[in-house]
Amino acid sequence: MAVSFFINMTVSDPDISEIAYGTIVPTIPSGALAAAVGLVGAVIMPHNLFLHSSLVLTRKVDETDKRAVNDANIYYAIESSISLFISFLINMSVIATFAAYS
């Protein structure tokens, strides 16, 4: 899925400087509020919910052992950071492709 989105983004040839600027300074152009809300609801939230729910459900930790809980928290932070970064890259490619064609 990620590869397909990146191919679409490459084909649409978005302005990379605008992507970098929009990553740092988020803006919504006039007339694009409905598209922005739709992208948040349809793309961003399902990825985050899916990724985080699968990470949480697979974690079996002995809650009485403080070291095990600490280790689990560290690994969870690493896994969720990686998942959120991948989700960010996918969402960026979808939004950049949408912006290039609108």
What does the domain layout of the chain look like in residue ranges?
A: 2-101
Answer whether 0.85 is exceeded by the pTM. Answer: no
- CA-based end-to-end distance of the chain: 22
For residues 56 and 98, what is the distance between their CA atoms, to the nearest angstrom?
A: 32
Nearest to 59 by CA among 46, 77, 85, 44: 77
Nearest to 2 by CA among 80, 78, 93, 85: 93
pLDDT at 88: 80
pLDDT (tens place) for every residue of the chain, 102 residues total: 778 888 988 888 888 898 888 889 988 878 778 777 777 776 666 666 666 666 666 677 888 999 998 998 898 888 878 877 887 888 788 888 877 776
